[in-house]
Amino acid sequence: MSASLTIKKGPNDARTILLALGVGNCNATIMVQYMFLSPSTTDPAMPSIILMTKHLQAGLRAAGARVPLDGQVDATTARALITLVGPEWNHVSWYALFDAVLAAKRTRSLEQRSQEMSLGMIPDLPDIPPVVSWAAIAAAAYLYLRK
């Protein structure tokens, strides 16, 4: 009698990581075959790789990075991956990239926290010089409150 072969699934198998990042069952089945290759060895024009990149970018966005969701690795996506994995991110397996993105998503480690004070109910002012913003607010308050 031969021993039965059972595959134990856990939190670190490729399919579970893909599903945790929002990949559907059918797409996860397609993507699993590329998970142990590196991005440098895959063709970025393949539909499966574009889909993997889109989900990777969605995970980077959920982790706080400001990256486009277009399926192409551009400079901003590469910068976010360098922050997570290091400068050799292109030679790391897709599995390691997705695993790092999932960990970053849990902790929101790519979020850029501002050192500015939150104004509470007052919305954040636009990116113009603060003196101009406050002058506009003061003028509006003066016109509203004068009688």
Could you report the per-residue pLDDT of 25-54, keeping only the tens digit for each? 899 989 999 999 999 999 999 999 999 999
Q: Contact, 57 vs 67, CB < 8 A?
A: yes
Contact 60, 101 (CB under 8 A): yes
Question: From CA 29, how far away is CA 102, in angstroms rounded?
Answer: 18
Tens-place pLDDT, residues 80-129: 999 999 999 999 999 999 999 999 998 888 877 655 555 555 565 556 67
Contact yes or no for 57/98 (Cβ under 8 A): no
128 dihedral zone (left: phi>0; alpha: psi -120 to 50; beta): beta
Q: What is the pLDDT of residue 107?
A: 87
CA-closest candidate to residue 54, choices 71, 38, 66: 71
